[in-house]
Structure 1
Amino acid sequence: MRIGLKVDVNTLRGTMKGIPNLLRLFAHHEIQATFLFSLGPDNTGRALGRIFRPGFFAKGHHTSMVSHYGVRSLLNGTLLPAPDIGRRAAPILREVRAAGHEVGIHCYDHVRWQHNVARSDRAWTRTELTLASEAFQRIFGQTARVHGAAGWQLNSHLPALEAELGIQYASDTRGRHPFVPVVEGSTRACVQIPTTLPTLDELMNQPQVRDHELHQVLYQCSRELAPGAHVLTLHAEREGMTLQPVLERLLIMWQSAGDDLVPLREIAAGLDVMRLPRHRIAWGEVPGCFGRLALQGTVSAGEG
């Protein structure tokens, strides 16, 4: 079994504290992963309003925002000015690449993307993606090859814009296996390598899953064969901090079983794009996660 590891980095705190913790953990176990960075202002405090939306707690969302994000992060963009992550933390971001990990784009402004992209037009989407791409170029001196949309939120304009801006593959969706997204009116689209496994915090939000069993439950989920490879999304703010002991137990289980833990670039390298199935992108819910996410939808008509 191959398990692709993707680390989403949402905040300055996750960048400054969570990333170094993960780098040490991965180095100890000789693992490489894909790190996707938020590269603009950290406006985490502006996301607090979503906890008051109907159904947020009814869906079992009992994970602590304070323990995951920290008090200061929850004030950024409201009572405190929003720090620029890319400019403040550029040396740490470069350390990730120097350690051999794959680096890519998560977003420019995490809150702005997650709250607005689904209902935004092509011009807005292009501006946000360009801001992130320019910040990445400034930090790394090269064009980003991989993108993973914040919160699995996107719109019909994104797959073509990714291809136009030089991104070679993306992990914007939840799904079952790699595919080429079919978007009406577009002839270009970036290959999707979707997240196939539940995240640890999604499992925590399911009342039937006990916290001490998290790594075992996720390991069992990974035993279901997937074409190509499974993909697990981690978060620097969670698995890089409070959930790191759980993550380490899971990594040990996978390595003991002989599984390969790889960055997304290794999955992408083995894909024959011409033979990949074409799927539409749908919207739906994932157990333990609040709100609707972009999902791998039905096979496009005429495609197998």
Structure 2
Amino acid sequence: MTRNKVCIRIDIDTVRDTQVLPVVLEILDSFDASATFFVTTGEDMTFKNYKNYINPLKLLQKKAIQQHGVKQMLRGILYKQQVQKSSNVQLILENNHELGLHGYHHYNWMNTLQQKSQEEITEWINKGSELFEDAYGFKPLSFASPGFATSPQFLEALEDFNFDYSSDFRGKEAFYPCINERKLSTLQLPVAEKSFGELEFEGISNDAIYNIMKNGLDNAHNFFVFYMHPSYEPILKRDLLVRVLEYITTSDKFETTTMHQLAKHIKRKVLDENPANI
């Protein structure tokens, strides 16, 4: 029986995310589950996001305080903390999980990518790759765009870096993007479902979120990628996360794998079958 591959993608956007990494790593270890982490590089500017909310005081009284912490929010204003410099990120590698690049200057990337030229985006990716290599001793082999922000210029810029794959879209199937009918060479592995936090923001209950995840997993074609953030799902939705991971790891329908392993599997399958499209 062929089992569908399930990838757990975990985005490290902030210094706070790095501080709680031991929690998510302990949960993954308890299920013997492999995961793919993407770490952003550059200054943590999370505090700037709060101006985008209609009622920031209401938000601060609830999830934002719990997720990011008052002290960390203040430190983000006072100090230029670099996300990738946290020693906790090394725990990911020590526990044999995958680590890829999640862009450069997460806040600026999310909010201004659409206005950037291909040359400017190339410079950003170069800078992020340099900071990544300085911190971990190897060049990143994979990429994930902060906030799923993309543009034709961004997709063209990716071509210069020969990443094994990138994960910049939401969707159900792997694909190679096309620009002006020209097929690009960077394999895209989309995220299949919104994060628990996004679904909760839409007013969806825990039970309903579980059913959304279960239905997505049950109806996936070959693979399913879901994503989360260390400071949200493992901290604020631990019981729900454990429930989903229990469903995945106790079923003979699924196997957890890193996104790197999934990319290798898909590319090998393409070579064996030689179809026109994935």
- Size of the aligned set, in residue pairs, is 266
Contact 1:178/1:192, CA 8 A, preserved across alignment: yes
1:37 to 39, 42, 53: 39
Aligned-residue offset at 1:136: 1.2
The one of 8, 15, 18 equivalent to 1:15 is 18
Match of 1:292 in 2: none
The whole-number CA distance in structure 2 between the counterparts of 1:76 and 1:116 is 24
Counterpart CA distance in 2 for 1:63 and 1:189 is 43
Tell me which residue corresponds to 1:64. Answer: 63
Check the 8 A contact 2:176/2:184 in 1, yes or no.
no
Task: Report the equivalent of 1:83.
Answer: 81
Shift of 1:121: 1.0
- Which runs of no fewer than 5 residues in structure 2 stay unpaired? none
1:269 maps to amino acid: K
C-alpha separation between the residues in 1 aligned to 2:157 and 2:62?
Answer: 34
Partner amino acid, structure 1, of 2:66: S
Residue 77 (structure 1) shift: 4.6
Question: Is 2:190 aligned against 1:194?
Answer: yes
1:231 aligns with 2:230: no
Q: After superposing the two structures, state which structure 1 stretch, 28-37 or 183-192, moved more.
A: 183-192
- Give the 3-state SS of the residue equivalent to 1:179 in structure 2: coil
* Length-normalised TM-score, structure 2: 0.87
1:277–1:200 CA distance, 2 compared to 1 (3 A): farther
Change (3 A) 1:105 1:37: same
Instruction: Name the counterpart of 2:105.
Output: 109
| Cα distance between partner residues in 2 of 1:232 and 1:277 | 27
* Aligned amino acid, residue 235 of structure 1: H
1:271 shift after superposition: 1.4
Query: Structure 2 matches for 1:284-299, cutoff 5 A?
Result: none
What one-letter code is carried by the residue in structure 2 that aligns with 1:14? D
CA distance in 2, matches of 1:185, 1:219: 36
Partner of 2:243: 249
1:92 aligned onto 2:88:
yes
Q: Deviations over 1:227-260 (max 9, x none)?
A: x301101111212321222111110011122221
In structure 2, relative to structure 1, the CA distance for the partners of 1:220 and 1:188 (3 Å cut) is closer
Tell me whether 1:220 sits opposite 2:215 in the alignment. yes
The 1:101–1:131 alpha-carbon spacing in structure 2 relative to 1, beyond 3 Å, is same
1-structure distance, mates of 2:247, 2:184: 40
Which has more helix, going by share of residues? Answer: 2
For 1:4, what is the secondary structure of its paired residue?
A: strand
Q: 1:184: which partner in 2?
A: 180
- For residue 16 of structure 1, report the CA deviation from its aligned partner: 1.5
Matched with 2:132 is 136
Query: Is the contact made by 1:179 and 1:277 (CA closer than 8 Å) also made in structure 2?
Result: no
Q: Are the structure 2 counterparts of residues 111 and 202 from structure 1 closer, same or farther at C-alpha, using a change threshold of 3 Å?
A: same
Tell me which of 26, 29, 32 is aligned to 1:27.
Answer: 29
Does the CA contact (< 8 Å) of 1:44 and 1:76 recur in 2?
no
Letter in 1 for 2:145: A
Identity over aligned pairs, percent? 18
Asked if the contact 1:160/1:186 (under 8 Å) is kept, the reply is: no
For structure 1, list consecutive stretches of 5 or more residues without a partner in the other structure.
57-61, 279-303
Which amino acid letter does the alignment assign opposite residue 6 of structure 1?
A: R
SS of 1:160's equivalent in the other structure is: helix
Residues 147-173 of structure 1: CA deviation (Å, up to 9, x unaligned): 011110122122232231231200011
